[in-house]
């Protein structure tokens, strides 16, 4: 394996000059920089990362904990964080927890014990206090998408309550009065905020809903399908469903298709996320767009600021947008209650 000294000899400079060039801590004439870069490329030199860590005190790597990578929303978030990190020369060690609390705790422990400079954490489960305790003394962690109660860490969230309000308002404006809500795990920040937005929009028009119209468990496609099946089995069905993730909405579409029913003819539907598949399904899904690329970019920028000792905002909230497609129809049949 070529060494730093081999590069220095080939470029006609000292090993210290090569080292400082690689660390961007020296200004050299362009001709000298070109000779060093050419020698690095010709010799296929790779820096000794362990030695670099010892000399700089940094791993130049971050941890990324995500619930799952087969969920398009989390996959896109992870991809944007990774892309931003790479732009700044940071490697990313990613751990998928599959939404399991024990795996999540273990992943954070591994990230803490591994030589990474900081961490972006995306959780998907309400905390029982164990995660907050583990993160309580960490100062190089950024929360993305979901909160962890009991701790104060820099965070990037969206305006969940307003997004859900916009989704429900859209259904009400289309004439719907009996609307069902499907959401994620009770106790999760996004679930509470989105349910609050749904409730506010309904109350604004004097509309009520029964406890049986609210389905809470997780953001999975299978739960969306299961909740839709229960709705289909009713004698008096709602005329619309607000599924508070696109994954849930796809499950709803699948259940209605299996039952020989269609959206929006038999049921109007609004999702939440605007994943790439939302405009490709039949019918194209009306949904709330989350600014996923900006969320990932800001999360890494916050972490980078922490690593550089710069002040950061404790919480950043990003706005959402209603994307109208063809999964909502005007309802003219009167109240179904």
CATH assignment of 160-290, among 3.40.50.2300, 2.60.120.260, 3.30.1120.10, 3.40.50.1820: 3.40.50.2300
Judging by beta carbons within 10 Å of its beta carbon (0-12, 13-18, 19+), is residue 317 exposed, middle or buried?
middle
Task: Decide which of 243 and 61 is more confident.
Answer: 243
Q: What is the pLDDT of residues 116-138, one digit of tens each?
A: 889 999 998 899 899 999 898 88
Q: What is the pLDDT of residues 6-20, one digit of tens each?
A: 999 999 999 889 888
Write out the CATH class of domain 61-158+292-318: alpha beta
Residue % of the chain over a pLDDT of 70:
94
Q: What is the DSSP letter of 284?
A: P
Q: What is the pLDDT of residues 245-289, one digit of tens each?
A: 999 999 999 999 999 999 999 999 999 999 999 999 999 999 999
Q: What is the mean pLDDT of residues 45-72?
A: 74
pLDDT band at residue 99 under the 50/70/90 scheme: confident
The pLDDT value recorded for residue 210 is 96
Q: What value does the mean pLDDT of the chain take? A: 91
Q: What is the mean pLDDT of residues 167-195?
A: 97
pLDDT band at residue 335 under the 50/70/90 scheme: very low
- 61-158+292-318 and 160-290 share one CATH topology? yes
166 with 324: CB under 8 angstroms? no
Q: What is the mean pLDDT of residues 310-323?
A: 96
**Domain locations in the chain as residue ranges:** 4-47, 61-158+292-318, 160-290
39 with 11: CB under 8 angstroms? yes
The whole model's pTM is what? 0.83
145 with 292: CB under 8 angstroms? no
Cα-based distances in Å from 33 to 11, 37, 38, 49, 113: 9, 6, 9, 21, 37
Q: What is the mean pLDDT of residues 100-105?
A: 86
Which residue carries 């009065």 as its tokens?
A: 177
């Amino acid at each position: 394996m070529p060494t730093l000294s081999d590069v220095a000899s080939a470029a006609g400079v000292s090993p210290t000059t090569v080292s400082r060039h690689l660390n961007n801590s020296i200004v050299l004439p362009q001709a000298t920089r070109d000779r060093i870069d050419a020698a690095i490329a010709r010799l296929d030199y790779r820096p000794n990362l362990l030695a670099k860590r010892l000399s700089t005190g940094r791993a130049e790597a971050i941890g990324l904990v995500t619930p799952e990578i087969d969920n398009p929303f989390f996959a896109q978030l992870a991809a944007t964080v990774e892309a931003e990190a790479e732009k700044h020369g940071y490697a990313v060690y990613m751990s998928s927890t599959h939404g399991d609390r024990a795996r999540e705790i273990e992943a954070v422990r591994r990230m803490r014990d591994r030589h990474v400079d900081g961490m972006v954490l995306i959780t998907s489960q309400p905390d029982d206090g164990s995660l907050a305790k583990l993160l309580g003394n960490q100062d190089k962690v950024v929360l993305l998408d979901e909160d962890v109660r009991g701790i104060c860490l820099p965070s990037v969230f969206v305006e969940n309550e307003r997004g859900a309000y916009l989704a429900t308002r859209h259904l009400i404006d289309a004439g719907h009065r009996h609307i069902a809500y499907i959401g994620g795990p009770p106790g999760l920040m996004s679930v509470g905020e989105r349910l609050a937005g749904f409730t506010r929009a309904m109350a604004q028009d004097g509309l009520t809903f029964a406890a049986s119209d609210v389905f809470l468990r997780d953001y999975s496609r299978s739960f969306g399908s299961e909740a839709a099946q229960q709705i289909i089995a009713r004698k008096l069905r709602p005329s619309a469903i607000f599924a508070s993730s696109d994954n849930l909405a796809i499950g709803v579409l699948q259940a209605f298709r299996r039952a020989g029913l269609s959206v929006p003819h038999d049921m109007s539907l609004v999702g939440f996320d605007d994943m790439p598949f939302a405009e490709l399904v039949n019918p194209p899904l009306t949904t709330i767009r989350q600014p996923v690329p900006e969320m990932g970019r800001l999360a890494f920028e916050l972490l980078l600021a922490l690593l550089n000792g710069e002040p950061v905002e404790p919480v950043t909230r990003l706005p959402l947008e209603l994307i109208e497609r063809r999964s909502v129809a005007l309802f003219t049949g009167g109240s179904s209650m």
